Amino acid sequence: MQCSSNIKQLSLAVLNYESTHHVLPAAGICDIVDSTFDCQSNTMFSWVVLILPFMEQTALHDRFDFRVSVRNQDGNPQAEQPPILLCPSDGARGRLFIDATLTAGRPFGKGNYAAYCSILHIDDQESPPGKWPYAFPGAIVGHGQATSSITDGLSTTLMLAEVRTRDQQQDQRGAWALPWAGSSLLSVDRHAQALSHYVPDNYTRGMAQTPNCQGPIYDMIYHCVDPAGAQWEHMPCATWAPGYPNGFLSAATRSLHPGGVNVSFVDGHVMFMQNDIDEIVMAYMACVNDGQIINLDDLSL
């Protein structure tokens, strides 16, 4: 119940941000190069940092210096763990992400909620440019979008979902201040036949990142530390590398709740999504403009 309440309050904070700025928060303050979201560029503030004033965290928001990188903040505000970002079932309190290279040795607090940015990948250097965020986008994309762009309906389009953390300092998952895969961003990784219109392909059948999936596509992150241990914890991962086959970033929603995860939709309502949800249905729910509107009353979510 506490986790459901948290994701509800975060969703309302996103909507209050949109009401003030007339656009949903950007996935992150990053550059878009060749139609690809470059997760490690610019100042790298995540959408969570942007909505802090709307979740009663103005004092924490004011501690950030938006003129410099999120990896170079005096006083380390990015290491904080606001209670609203923590699901009691995960045990993330006290867990930090610290890496000599990826965070320049700075600590990043971990949390349990992330936003859907695409039904494909978060950052894709494996395939030709143009896939993300301009083709089949999710709710929280690139430099932000107006709710009028969500033509499949606010009440049927996924926005936020849960993520798990590991008690492993070099695992980025849950690091809420970073716009990275599994940190604050999610995707479904369900491919299409072409970029012009979303029709699911057959090649990637069974490979989508449904809730708590265990493969065959693992969470692709910058540094998968102790992959055997990660798989033992039911959080399988692999390390990103430019080019084929690891040149993409993507992560699944995960929780320790029996049978599924809490999710929210762009209108702010919250539901429980089962692990065994059909991957095509989930892809349609995550994409804002595929023309396929899912009747949630017909699903056992």
- Alpha-carbon distance of 121 to 220, in angstroms, equals 10
Angstrom distance (rounded) from CA 182 to CA 175: 8
- 48 closest CA partner among 19, 73, 70: 70
Q: Flag whether pLDDT at 124 surpasses 80.
A: no
| Confidence (pLDDT) at 132 | 44
- Is the pLDDT at 34 greater than 80, yes or no? no
State mean pLDDT over 196-224: 90
User: What is the C-alpha to C-alpha distance for residues 90 and 111, in angstroms, rounded to an integer?
Assistant: 9
Whether the pLDDT of residue 251 is over 60: the answer is yes
pTM (2 decimals)? 0.94
At 267, which amino acid appears? D
Residue 214, both tokens = 């265990």
**For residue 103, what pLDDT is reported?**
97
Q: Per DSSP, what are the bridge partners of residue 116?
A: 186
Rg (CA), the chain: 17
Question: How far is residue 200's CA from residue 194's CA, in Å, rounded to a whole number?
Answer: 9
Q: Do 160 and 11 touch, CB atoms closer than 8 A?
A: yes
Show the tokens assigned to 251.
């992560």
In 3D space, the residue among 209, 301, 222 whose CA is nearest the CA of residue 252 turns out to be: 209
Question: What band does 27 get if pLDDT is binned at 50, 70 and 90?
Answer: very high
Q: What is the band of 290 on the pLDDT scale with cuts at 50, 70, 90?
A: confident
pLDDT at 126: 55
Two structure tokens written together for 40: 């490690």
Is the pLDDT reported for residue 195 higher than 80?
no
Question: Domain residue spans in the chain?
Answer: 2-63+74-296
